[in-house]
Amino acid sequence: MSSKEILEQAIMLKPEERFVIVEGLLKSLDEPDQIWVEEAEKRLKAYRDGSLEGIPMEEVFKEK
């Protein structure tokens, strides 16, 4: 089924049903990609075992 066909069928749904579909689609865009999850976990592990040094928040947001 093509995206055009899906859209045509979705438009025929009740407004409440369309809302559920739209909400689900938007939430799916906010889910982190697995590659970013793996990178975050790798960095956290490195920080915890001492092979990666943190930067104080004040330094990160310091005006230049």
pLDDT one-digit tens code per residue, 26-62: 888 877 788 888 999 999 999 999 999 999 999 989 8
Find out whether 10 and 21 touch, Cβ atoms under 8 Å: yes
Residue owning tokens 């947001």: 61
Give the number of other Cβ atoms within 10 Å of residue 18's Cβ: 13
In this prediction the pTM is 0.48
